[in-house]
Amino acid sequence: MSERRVTMRDVAAASGVSQATVGFVLNNTPTQTISAPTRERVLRAAKELGYVVDGIARAMREGSSRIVVLNIDASLEGNYSRSYISGLDDELAKNDHILVVKHGHPTKQSTTQLQHMVAPRGVIDFAANYSSGRELADGGWTDGLAAHTAVQVGHLVDHGHTRLAMALPEDATRFARVRLEFARQAAERLDLPPLAPLVLPHPDAGGVEALREFLLEAPVTAIAGFNDEMALRVLKCAESLGLRVPEELAVIGYDATEYAALSSPGLTTVHIDADAHGRRSARAILGLDASDLVAAPALVVVRDSV
């Protein structure tokens, strides 16, 4: 049943060359010339025997495995991260690497453990990667977080709103703070009054009160959610307060989750296809050129809430 794994030695024996030659052919090593017939024989034998390189042995020799680790926090799960992961995974696969996802924010301990256990070729921290301005410096990647946030804010402004807020969760991550900052900058560029942060607890945990008090102090007409969940919280709380949406309060989400279509009123939100971004990250890790990859622009999915 469980046949022994096929090694380079088997391929070498089958094609009548040394094991080193097999290596040269299979990796087509540029420093080594191999005659066409030999190459042919080796390739054929490899295929016939069903030879597959042993990643572990290769990793041992090369010093690191062809694995890339992505650290992602649960709070960032959504449409964006899904398309990002999909692009990243696909691009890595194309280059003979594989993607592996670690959920939850990693501790120092788990990180070093991972480091020693799998010796990954690279580690991507999703939040850091997305929020950093590094993309801008990196050959014209202008469609990062700042641009996406600007699209969200811009949609509110296009509908006549000038006094805006952004709704954030109570345990705001660094990522949330970065988004808030970008939203502020976007508002400033459009000569609006300062954009206020609204820390909105869950509706079951004082969210309704929090929204009421916030609106008394800062009478905004539109609220941008940190993500769809926050926007939906606003919607729910607004309903409890008897506020009509969008007439009395406009709300826009971010990341176009499936749930945005299922509220009433339906939530207008921003859809971002991060496939290209994922591919770009892959190329960056592998040290390849990525200038042919262009990002799809952020798209506003218009529903009823603004």
Partner DNA sequence: CGGAATCACTAGATCGTGCAAGTAGTCGGC
Partner DNA sequence: GCCGACTACTTGCACGATCTAGTGATTCCG
In order, the DSSP letters of 58-81 are: HHHHHSS-SEEEEEE-GGGTTHHH
- Interface residues with DNA (CB under 7 A) are 4-5, 7-9, 16-21, 23-24, 26-27, 29, 31-35, 37-39, 51, 53-54, 57-58, 60-62
Q: How far is the CB of 206 from a second copy (least distance, A)?
A: 13
Q: Looking at beta carbons only, is 30 or 242 nearer to DNA?
A: 30
Least Cβ distance, residue 109 to DNA (angstroms): 18
Strands (E) in 92-172, as ranges, are 98-103, 122-125, 164-168
Alpha carbon distance 301, 165 (integer Å) = 20
Q: Judged by CB, which is closer to DNA: 34, or 284? A: 34
Binding residue count for a second copy, defined by CB under 8 A: 48
> Nearer to a second copy by C-beta: 13 or 119?
119
Assess 229 for contact with a second copy (CB under 8 A): yes
Count of CB atoms situated within 10 Å of the CB of 28: 9
- Looking at residue 200, what DSSP letter applies? -
CA angle 22, 26, 30 (to 5 degrees): 100
Count of all residues that appear for the chain in the document: 306
Q: Give CA–CA dist 248/215, Å, rounded.
A: 11
Stretch that binds a second copy, among 125-133, 142-150, 202-210, 289-297 (CB under 8 A): 202-210
Contact residues toward a second copy (CB under 8 A) are 52-57, 59-60, 65-67, 74, 77, 82, 85-86, 89, 93, 98, 100-104, 110, 112-114, 116-119, 202-204, 229, 232-233, 235-236, 239, 257-259, 261-264
